[in-house]
A = this chain, B = another copy of it.
Amino acid sequence: MAKDKKVEQITDMDEDFAQWFTDIVTRAELISYSGAKGFFILRPYGYAIWENIQNELDKRFKELGHVNVSMPLLIPESLLQKEKDHVEGFAPECAWVTFGGSEELDERLCIRPTSETLFCDHWQQTVQSWRDLPMLYNQWCSVLRWEKSTRPFLRHREFLWQEGHTLHATAEEAIEETERMLDVYAELYEDVLAMPVVKGVKTDKEKFAGAERTYTVECMMHDGKALQNGTSHYFGDGFAKAFDITYTDKNNRLVHPFQTSWGFSTRSIGGIIMTHGDNNGLCLPPRVAPVQVVVVPVASQKPGVLEKATELVSRLKAAGVRVMCDTSDQSPGWKFAEHEMKGVPLRIEIGPRDIEQDQCMAARRDKSARQGESALQGESALQGESARQGGVDKLPIPLAGLEIEVKKLLEDIQKSLFDNAKANLTRNTRSASTLDEIRIIQNENGGFIKAMWCGSRECELKMKEEIGVTARCIPYDQERVGDSCPVCGKPSDKMVIWGVAY
């Protein structure tokens, strides 16, 4: 009866990182493929992670005075075309609506790839006085970009995100806002997703279509590649001029306001997988995990076990822990592997022997892989209490102090995940001063490469052509790792982080 479901083995991440990623995405039931190419279904477990990210971000946005709105899904073609750089960047990947019912439309409508043009159009009509500023708007929605090749979480034709759009009286205020929102993203990554970031500014080549300046947070994945998600753009008054947005300032002059936008998407979930996951599956930071603790009754047919398990769940729930009890008729061994696959940070086991000793056993997800023992193997051995003899590091917790101990463990797991990711980032960031050094690092190690840059687009393009890396950012934290641009040899005082990006 317990045998109609199996926790399937996933591909080893060192053998095939891409397949390992896809295996986790599908087997942890985060995403399903849909009938339309490049469109994905965010399943309940995947969506619950997104809801937690949403709650954390939304709280931060609102504390800073932002309000949510809902703009239309569709943009008339003529509206999209108002800002030259912007339309050039986005029109090639727009999906176009040409029929409403059986009627062909007079003007094509594109499904929003991003909503700058809609916000500008709205503000053109509503902003009048300095009293109306700043406008601090945000929208939670999905956007469409008709990508050629797609991958779950990393590149969808439709993805969920938030897009913040703000309007300010001065350039200074707008730049402050742009930087402030980048800090919000950085803090979310580090404190909630346990992902260390490199903060910086994009080169002109890499900036957002229509922006004067794009700020970014770059994260490093297990395989040394960069994931970019969480960018903040300063527009100056370029959009305001293109859309004729003006306001009357305190001196009664009609002037243009200054604008920003910033976005954070479900891509971040791909980042969580590739930062914390291992060969046992997903590994979720407690602060973003839909289920922080799973309670597994062992030998649950014995009297009192299920009751005790239920009691522990109630106690943890009352203490504000996101907890579930797995009372299904699968074997404990199957359950251990299943919840490890799904990345539940902490497993609590409770059986007759534990009850006798007024304790339960805790198994940390972040330790399960490092024991060198895959919980996926030897399922047959993992039946009943015999499963308890496995090599996984388990900790007895006295029931009296359960809530405090569990919360401490969750905090410790959160911190340890961050520390490990930080160590990976540090280990895989190298400095180079010549093109040869860069080439060797890129070929042998990958990761992030710090090098000086003269600032010319030509040298930037050459790095892409010859080495295959792009400028991830000009980091806030500048160092001198040389005196000249490794490409052209000109004296340079700007350090860039180069890498390969998802």
Interface centre among A39, A50, A125 (most CB of B within 10 A): A39
Chain A, residues 40-76, CB within 8 Å of chain B (1/0): the string is 1111100110110000000000000001111111111
Do A42 and B67 contact each other (CB < 8 Å), given the known contacts A97-B96, A121-B34, A122-B32? no
Chain A, residues 65-102, CB within 8 Å of chain B (1/0): the string is 00111111111100100000000000011111111111
CB distance from A142 to the nearest CB of B (A): 6
Q: Could you say which residues of chain B place their CB within 8 Å of the CB of A99?
A: 95-96, 98, 108
Chain A, residues 396-410, CB within 8 Å of chain B (1/0): the string is 000000000000000
Q: Is A118 engaged at the interface, CB distance under 8 Å to the other chain? A: yes
Cβ contact within 8 Å between B73 and A111: yes
CB distance from A42 to the nearest CB of B (A): 4
Closest chain B residue to A266, Cβ basis: B70
Cβ contact within 8 Å between B121 and A158: no
CB distance from A474 to the nearest CB of B (A): 31
Q: Is A137 engaged at the interface, CB distance under 8 Å to the other chain? A: yes
Cβ contact within 8 Å between A36 and B158: no
Q: Is A133 engaged at the interface, CB distance under 8 Å to the other chain? A: no
Q: Is A144 engaged at the interface, CB distance under 8 Å to the other chain? A: yes
Closest chain B residue to A118, Cβ basis: B34
Q: Is A320 engaged at the interface, CB distance under 8 Å to the other chain? A: no
Residue in B51, B73, B100 whose CB lies within 8 Å of A146: B100
CB distance from A484 to the nearest CB of B (A): 41
Do A111 and B93 contact each other (CB < 8 Å), given the known contacts A41-B70, A71-B34? no
Q: Is A303 engaged at the interface, CB distance under 8 Å to the other chain? A: no
Copies in the complex: 2
Q: List 16 A-B contacts (CB under 8 A).
A: A35-B121, A36-B74, A36-B109, A39-B72, A41-B70, A44-B67, A47-B67, A47-B69, A70-B142, A73-B73, A74-B158, A94-B101, A96-B98, A97-B97, A131-B328, A141-B142
Bound-complex Cα distance A102 to B93 (A): 8
Do A93 and B101 contact each other (CB < 8 Å), given the known contacts A39-B72, A122-B34, A158-B73? yes
Bound-complex Cα distance A109 to B42 (A): 19
Cβ contact within 8 Å between B142 and A71: no
Q: Could you say which residues of chain B place their CB within 8 Å of the CB of A144?
A: 73
Bound-complex Cα distance A99 to B94 (A): 8
Q: Could you say which residues of chain B place their CB within 8 Å of the CB of A109?
A: 36, 95
Bound-complex Cα distance A328 to B109 (A): 40
Q: Is A126 engaged at the interface, CB distance under 8 Å to the other chain? A: yes
